[in-house]
Structure 1
Amino acid sequence: MIWVAATLIAAVAQTARNAAQAGLGGRIGTIGATSVRFIFGFPFAALFLLLLTPFTNLPPLNATAIGFTAMGAGAQIGATAFMLLTMRGQSFGVATALMKTEPVTLALIGILILNEPMGPASLAAIGLATLGVMLSSGARWSRAGLIPVVNGITAGTLFGLSAIGFRGALLTLPEGSFFVHALTILVLTLGLQSSITLAWMLIADRRALRGITGEWRVSLAAGGLGAFASLFWFIGFALTPAANVRTLALIEVVFAQIVSGRFLHESTGRMQLIGMALIAAGVGWLLALTATGG
């Protein structure tokens, strides 16, 4: 169950990255804040791979692996942009809940693109955990606007497509170390994303580029944490269908609610408690199924 540990490590590291990156948007703009995770994460991943090279054989990259990686990298950039758009909407809870429908999207896309069928019990566990997220989000669906809903669904779909791209790239590599495979695809992904976002800022947003340079300390911390988190996401994708990884990651919602109640003294409503229970039940069910090969 290495993928379980990898997913939990990735979720914690991603939370830390988000905390490091939290204030950047207001200081250097949306594009700049989005680009930080790619541009400052790439040197960390590339250096680690370079240091590892004398001790292992790197897997050869074929056209299919590069194509899947490019699909994942592009979809992740688009997903991040739509995610940031949802944060500006009136229906924040609704949009956030819809973005968390990613595991369901992943399961469906995985069946269509990667031919990774999931049994009815696994699909039910994924659906149960996703329903829990929607209930625990505190969303007021009666006030949901069309644009935030569309943006949220689009972000969730693109995040799902990006995970499928990374999973597909990893599956095309020859047999070998899952760790080396994950690191290789991560370096390729961050290299592509850094090139795309740097080119965009050079052409259309020089202010964001100057802002990143001025905030290099915070950007470096966010980039390092982001690369660390992504490495463990990719390790999870190398070992199990992406839908399993993202479903387990939903347990982060429960942790966030516990922290907000314990340390921030924020109240938790009955519907949120029911939602957290459903998340825990869905995740536990899925882990039991994967442990028994169900």
Structure 2
Amino acid sequence: MELWIPITIAAAFCQNLRSALQKHLQGALGTTGASFVRFGFGFPVAIVYVLLLHVLTDRPFPLMSLPFALWAVVGGVAQIMATILLVHMFSLRNFAVGTAYSKTEPVQAAIFGFVLLGERITAGAVMAIFVGVVGVMMISVARMPLSWRNLFAALFGRTALTGIASGALFGISAVAYRSAALSLGGPDPIMQAAVTLAVVTTFQTVIMIAWMAATDLSEFGRVARAWRSSAMVGLAGVVGSACWFTAMALQQVAYVRALGQIELVFTFAVSIFFFRERITRMEATGCVLIVSGILLLLMWR
């Protein structure tokens, strides 16, 4: 098995755990605070991770450049905006469906990867991604009577557009992070990914602190009072990000993000067993299609 595959599955699991914890925190912190803890409690871990790689495995620090800085900023800002939209979306529909809308990301990541990096994917991979996105769309309309009007509302309503925008921003950030890591050069994708993660999460923390200071100082107190749960979000987020960054340094973004749709399977488990949310038959069918798309991707890529 190629290394990027288990790393991506681990990333999807950690991302699902982080999202579940963020949904739990949203009521206590609000959208901005629940988004901030992902970065603010994660960046120290990212820095320690880089130092451990350097000290324990004797990996050298890569040389940074202007292209690296530009891609890191683009990716960092896009991910902040995508995270805020995703957390906000949890208040519009249930946890599983809210996450499903953002899973249109693989198609958008494939487009951005082609436009920005010239990365091409096989016809079989395109079909596999399409199967997965059909599953996502089934989930999005599962809780309403099937009609053209409801289908239009599901695809172009507030929740859908918020989710699609979140997916687009996640797609942009993924391509930017791969570009940043590759711009560092060298034969060590693990160290390149780790340095990219540390720089980006530090930058994101500074941006979020400035934003919260300018808009709602009381949010800092709420974050401090929920520090235990916030720390768990940060830890799950930074471990997941380390896995994402490493996988995307090893493989094209479209493939990594398509396999990452397995997160939705984890999401349904959390939705059922943790949040006690009822899952319909069509949502379950959509989940099966997503898994089928993932299996086809691994066979046809």
Settle same-fold status: TM greater than 0.5.
yes
Note the alpha carbon deviations across 1:195-228, whole angstroms, 9 max, x for none: 1001111222111111112222221121112111
Residue 126 of structure 1 pairs with residue 124 of structure 2: no
Residues 249-258 or 29-38, more deviating:
249-258
Residue 57 of structure 1 pairs with residue 68 of structure 2: no
Could you tell me whether the CA contact under 8 Å between 1:105 and 1:160 is conserved in 2? yes
- CA distance change for structure 1 residues 34 and 267 in 2, over 3 Å: closer, same or farther? closer
Residue 83 of structure 1 pairs with residue 124 of structure 2: no
What corresponds to 1:166 in structure 2?
177
What corresponds to 2:46 in structure 1?
45
Could you tell me whether the CA contact under 8 Å between 1:261 and 1:268 is conserved in 2? no
- CA distance change for structure 1 residues 20 and 258 in 2, over 3 Å: closer, same or farther? closer
The CA distance in 2 between the partners of 1:246 and 1:36, in whole Å, is: 23
Matched position secondary structure for 1:22: helix
Paired letter, 1:250: Q
The CA distance in 2 between the partners of 1:95 and 1:18, in whole Å, is: 10
- CA distance change for structure 1 residues 265 and 71 in 2, over 3 Å: closer, same or farther? closer
Could you tell me whether the CA contact under 8 Å between 2:23 and 2:87 is conserved in 1? no
What corresponds to 2:116 in structure 1?
113
TM-score, normalised relative to structure 1:
0.89
Residue 198 of structure 1 pairs with residue 201 of structure 2: no
Residue 175 of structure 1 pairs with residue 218 of structure 2: no
Consecutive unaligned residues of structure 2, counting only runs of 5 or more, are 145-149
The CA distance in 1 between the partners of 2:159 and 2:235, in whole Å, is: 31
TM-score, normalised relative to structure 2:
0.87
- CA distance change for structure 1 residues 136 and 150 in 2, over 3 Å: closer, same or farther? closer
Residue 221 of structure 1 pairs with residue 265 of structure 2: no
What corresponds to 1:157 in structure 2?
168
Alignment of 1:131-280 (within 5 A): 131-137=134-140, 138-140=142-144, 141-142=150-151, 143-144=153-154, 146-257=157-268, 266=278, 268-269=280-281, 271-280=282-291
Could you tell me whether the CA contact under 8 Å between 2:131 and 2:289 is conserved in 1? yes
Could you tell me whether the CA contact under 8 Å between 2:97 and 2:139 is conserved in 1? no
Aligned residue pair count: 289
The CA distance in 1 between the partners of 2:46 and 2:26, in whole Å, is: 24
Could you tell me whether the CA contact under 8 Å between 2:139 and 2:283 is conserved in 1? yes
CA RMSD of aligned residues (A): 2.4
The CA distance in 1 between the partners of 2:242 and 2:9, in whole Å, is: 12
Matched position secondary structure for 1:250: helix
Residues 122-131 or 275-284, more deviating:
275-284
Consecutive unaligned residues of structure 1, counting only runs of 5 or more, are none
Following superposition, the deviation at residue 19 of structure 1 comes to 3.3
